[in-house]
Amino acid sequence: MMGKNRHYAEQFRQMGYTRNVIAFKRCDEIPPGVEDYGDGQSFLCAITAEAWEEGRKPFCITNRNSLCGGSVYAGIGSRKLDKEEFDGGMSQTIGVGMGYESRAQFRRVNQQVPHVFRSHRYLLIGILEDIDEPDMVMVVSEAYRIMRLCKAYTWKTGEIVQGRSGTSWCTCTFPHVLKTKTMSFATGDEQSRILMGLAEGELSACIHWEALPIIMENYKNIQTGLMGV
């Protein structure tokens, strides 16, 4: 019998979503047969994009693998930074041509983000076919197809889907979905879009596993084309 994860992955393909859907699952032990990411380090968006590589199997990371705050937002905590490393990171974040005008704006952004207080040791990342019962999934596609996922959710629940932008992909993606167990969509920022290899017209949608059945069961019910035409 096909598991729900494989069923949904196939359904996405049939609905015209060409990129593999990526799944995320927080855990405290590495599941059997799953690769440990080891000592490699990168930004979480770049690490996540590795799941799209041909033949890439699921892998587990810890907060030590993340060079950014993405690990905090994804629910696996943060590694310790000394003052020199922190200041070095800020020098690449603050100012003209960077992420924020000053540290005041950087702090203001973080004050608006719901934080995940229960941290796990590992984050399992891979394509949806390979991860059973994930915490959430990420769909990347052109804006029209992201809209249709949002519409399917709202058609059934009556809840407006929140879109997030203006800061990093990880900040806009994980916290809201983990807190509300719903879905959201994001533009990402310049750096994350480059590191993930996104085309100009692509957006990402993050969907909690508990919300995914609502979308998949009601996608067929939403409007296509002009009403009455």
Q: What is the mean pLDDT of residues 28-49?
A: 94
**Predicted pLDDT of residue 226:** 82
Which segment of 89-103, 184-198, 214-228 scores lowest on mean pLDDT? 89-103
Q: Mean pLDDT check: name the lowest of 24-28, 43-47, 116-120, 180-184.
A: 116-120
Residues 6+ apart with CB under 8 A from 183: 149, 150, 153, 161, 177, 205, 206, 207, 208, 211, 215
Query: Does 100 or 177 have the greater pLDDT score?
Result: 177
Across the range 36-62, mean pLDDT stands at 95
Give the per-residue pLDDT at 37.
Answer: 95
Is the Cβ–Cβ distance between 21 and 128 less than 8 Å? yes
pLDDT band (50, 70, 90) for residue 97: confident
Distances (CA, A) of 143 to 20, 24, 215, 219: 16, 22, 16, 16
**Confidence (pTM):** 0.90
pLDDT at 228 over 70: no
Looking at the predicted structure, is the pLDDT value of residue 117 above 70?
no
Chain centroid offset of residue 63 CA: 16
Angle at 79 between CA 78 and CA 83, to 5 degrees: 110
* Spatial distance between the Cα atoms of 100 and 40, rounded to a whole number of angstroms: 28
Q: Residue 227: is its pLDDT beyond 80?
A: no
Inform me whether the pLDDT recorded for 135 exceeds 70. Answer: yes
